[in-house]
Structure 1
C-alpha cells in the first residue's frame, strides 16, 4: 500500500509541475542554507580523536604574581601555556602514559638541491612521545627515540608536502638537511595529516584550522641550539637578558600535553596539585589558583574554537529554514484544497480518513526527497563558495557521510512537518458536500 501511495504522490506532482517545482525549490533553499551552516559547525566542533580525546590533557598552572590577581576570576584570563621550568619538570616527572612539550619553530631551510633557494618553513619542537600520542601517520621512517630527546639530537621528521618539495617521490630517510644553519638528519616523513581542528597546536600556532606543520625537531635540540621560538609569549615582567634568562623566567611560551591511562585523570590531577604545592614551598606560584586539566573537547571549549558567532549563524540558518517551511505549508494548502473533490469521491468509495492521511503524507515525503536532492546540490555549491574564501575555511567546508544522510533526513522531516496541517485539512473533507457539488 505504501508503494501505491508513493506512485500516487509521483503522479500528483506531475499534474502541476510549476507548483511542484516551487515547493521543491522553497524546501531545497532552506535545507541547503541550514545544512551548509550546520556542516561547517559540525566540522569545527567535532571531536578530532573520539577514541582517545578523553585521555589527552592540557595542564595549566598559574605562575603569575599576586599583584593584580583576583581570586576566583574567569579561568580564560589565565595563561594557556607553561614556563620552561614547569614544562621541563613535568617532562621529568614521568606521569601518564605519554607526555610532550611543544614549541613553535620558524626556521630557514637550505636545500641541498642547487635549483632550490633557501626558504622559510614553520614547524614544532616536541618530544618523541608526540607522534604516538597524536597518532601521526608515517609514510617513511619513524620519529626519534627517547635517547635522542635526552641527547638533544639533530634529527627531523618532515611533512609530506615538505618532503615532496625537497626530494620529490624519493625516500629521504637518512638524508641531511640544513635547518637554522644546523645539519639535521631526516628520521621520517609523515603522510598527509589533516587533523580538524588542529587541537594540539592552537595556542601560538597556525590556528585551529590552519595548515599542518612543515617539520618536527626534538624539543631538547631547539633548546640546545638556543633557537628563537615561533608563537606567543606572556611575561609578567622583562626576563633576564639572553636565552638562559628566558629559560629561567616565569614567561609562559610552551604548550604541554599528557596522555593518561583510561580513568587516569584523577591521578594526573593529584600529581599536578602535589607538584604545585612543592613549587610553592620553593617560593613559586604565589596565587594559589586551582590547577586545571582540560581534555581535548574541554580544551576546544576553553579556547572558544566554535564561537558564539558560529552558533548564531546556525540558528539564523534554521530560522530561514522555518520561514521556508511556512511558505511550503501555504503551497501545500493551496495544492490540497483544489483536490477536495478527489478526496470526497475516495471517501465515498470507502477510503478512511487514515488512508487519506497516509496518502497525502507520503506525497509530502516525495516532495521532501526531491527537495533533499536539490538541497544537497545547493549545499555543495554553498560549501564550495565558503571554501574559496580562505585556506582555513577550505578545511571545514566539506561534507561527510553523517551530514549527507542528515540532509535527506532533514528535508523529508521538514516536508512531512510542513504537510501535517494541509494533510489534516484534506482529511476533514465531507464526502456528501463534495458529491453534491459535482
Structure 2
C-alpha cells in the first residue's frame, strides 16, 4: 500500500500546481535557512582530529607574579614561556610533543617576476607533522638531528612550492629566508585542519589558511626569528632576544600526544610536580592550579563557537517553524477541497487509519520535493556565504551528514505540518458528504 499511496501523493502534486508549488517553496526556504546555519555550526564545532582529540593535551600554567594576585577561573596562561616549553620538550612524557610559535619571513624568490615575498609560517618541533597527520607531496619532515642542531631547513606548503617552482619537486633546493639560505626537505600536500585548534591564539584564527612554510623551532630560535602572534609578559624582561628567552613572557604554544586518553591523570601529575620544582627555583609563586585540556575542551575554552553562532541557528529554526505554520494552513486548504473524495472512500469501506496513512504519505511527498528544492537553495546560500570572507569559505561546505540531515529535516517538517490537516481529513463524516453531492 505504501507504493500505491506514494504514487497517489506524486499525482496529487499536479492537482493544484499553484498551491503545491507554494507549499514546496515555503518548506524549502525554511529548510534551506536552517540547514545553512546548521551546516556552518556543524563544521565550526566539529572534531578537527578524530581518533586523537581525546589523546592530545594542551597544558596551561600560571607564571604570573604574586603581587596583586586575585584567583580566577582563567588564572593559567594559554601559552608557555620559552623556559617551560623547552623543559617539557626534554621530558619523557607522551609519545609525541611539540612546541611552536608563528613567524613571518621575507622570502627571496630568486625570480624577477616575484621579487621579495612576505610569507606566514610556523616554527614547530619535528613531532608536529606526525602528531597532526600532515600529508606530504614531496620529501618528508626534517630529521631529529636537524631539530637538535637547529639546521637551516624548511618545509613548504604546496601552494608556495607551486608558486616558486611550479609542479617540479623542489626537495634539495635552497631558498633565502630572512637573508639566510634554507634547504627544502619537504612539501606539504593540501591539508587544512578545521577548526585549526593548534593555532587559535594570535594566529589567523580557527579557520585561517594553511601556513606557507615551517622551520624547526630550534632553527627559528637560533636565527632569532621574530614572533608573529600573541605574547603576554607579566614582568619586565631584559632587552634583546636572549632577554625574551629568559623572561616570563608566554608566547610558545605546546601540545602533548599520549598513548591513550586514560593517561591524562599521569600527565596532570607530572605537570603538577614540574610546577612544584619550579616554585623551589623561585618561579610560579601563585601556586595556582595547572590545567590540561584535550582538543574539544580547548576549542570550548577558546570559544571557537560563540553564542552568536548558536543564536543564528535558533533564529533559523524559528524561521522554519514559521514556515511550518504556513505549510499547515496550505495543507488544510488542500485537504479540505478533497472532503468529498474522503467521504466516498470512507463509504466504500476505507478506515480512518487508511485515510490517515494516505494523506500522511502525501505530505511526505511534499517534504521530499521541498527537500530537493531546499537542498539546492542551501547550496546557493552556502556559496553566497563563502564569498563573504576566507574564514566563512572554510566552514560553508556541506558534508554527507548535513546532506542526509537536509532530507531528514524536510521530511520531518512536512510530516509535522501534515499531522493536523491529516487528522482533520480523517474526521470527515461519509453520510454528510454523500448527501451534499
Q: Is 1:7 aligned to 2:12, yes or no?
A: no
Instruction: Tell me the equivalent position of 2:398.
Output: 399
Supply the distance in 2 between the matched residues of 1:90 and 1:109 (Cα, whole angstroms): 32
Supply the distance in 2 between the matched residues of 1:202 and 1:304 (Cα, whole angstroms): 10
Supply the distance in 2 between the matched residues of 1:217 and 1:34 (Cα, whole angstroms): 43
Supply the distance in 2 between the matched residues of 1:78 and 1:285 (Cα, whole angstroms): 10
Instruction: Tell me the equivalent position of 1:280.
Output: 279
Q: Is 1:130 aligned to 2:128, yes or no?
A: yes
The answer on whether the counterparts of 2:195 and 2:207 sit within 8 Å (CA) in structure 1 is yes
State the Cα distance separating 1:66 from its structure 2 match.
Answer: 1.8
State the Cα distance separating 1:185 from its structure 2 match.
Answer: 0.5
Cα shift readout 1:293-348 (whole Å, capped 9, x = no counterpart): 11111110000000000000000000000000011011111111111111110001
Supply the distance in 1 between the matched residues of 2:178 and 2:236 (Cα, whole angstroms): 26
Instruction: Tell me the equivalent position of 1:191.
Output: 189
Supply the distance in 2 between the matched residues of 1:9 and 1:207 (Cα, whole angstroms): 49
* Runs of 4+ that moved beyond 4 A: none
Supply the distance in 2 between the matched residues of 1:112 and 1:188 (Cα, whole angstroms): 19
State the Cα distance separating 1:113 from its structure 2 match.
Answer: 2.9
Supply the distance in 2 between the matched residues of 1:327 and 1:114 (Cα, whole angstroms): 64
Q: Is 1:421 aligned to 2:420, yes or no?
A: yes
Q: Is 1:43 aligned to 2:43, yes or no?
A: yes
Supply the distance in 1 between the matched residues of 2:157 and 2:248 (Cα, whole angstroms): 33
Supply the distance in 2 between the matched residues of 1:368 and 1:70 (Cα, whole angstroms): 57
Cα shift readout 1:181-200 (whole Å, capped 9, x = no counterpart): 11110000000111111111
State the Cα distance separating 1:134 from its structure 2 match.
Answer: 0.3
TM-score by length of 2: 0.98
1:189 is paired with a residue whose SS is strand
Supply the distance in 1 between the matched residues of 2:288 and 2:31 (Cα, whole angstroms): 47
Instruction: Tell me the equivalent position of 2:28.
Output: 28
Supply the distance in 1 between the matched residues of 2:12 and 2:203 (Cα, whole angstroms): 58
Aligned match of 2:254 in 253, 256, 270?
A: 256
Supply the distance in 2 between the matched residues of 1:92 and 1:10 (Cα, whole angstroms): 69
Q: How do residues 106-125 of structure 1 correspond to structure 2 at under 5 angstroms? A: 106-125=104-123
Supply the distance in 1 between the matched residues of 2:290 and 2:9 (Cα, whole angstroms): 63
State the Cα distance separating 1:238 from its structure 2 match.
Answer: 2.7
The answer on whether the counterparts of 2:76 and 2:291 sit within 8 Å (CA) in structure 1 is no
Supply the distance in 2 between the matched residues of 1:36 and 1:233 (Cα, whole angstroms): 36
TM-score by length of 1: 0.98
Q: How do residues 182-331 of structure 1 correspond to structure 2 at under 5 angstroms? A: 182-262=180-260, 263-331=262-330
The answer on whether the counterparts of 2:200 and 2:206 sit within 8 Å (CA) in structure 1 is yes
The answer on whether the counterparts of 2:98 and 2:124 sit within 8 Å (CA) in structure 1 is yes
Cα shift readout 1:203-226 (whole Å, capped 9, x = no counterpart): 111110111000000000011111
Aligned match of 1:162 in 160, 163, 170?
A: 160
Unaligned runs of 5+ in 1: none
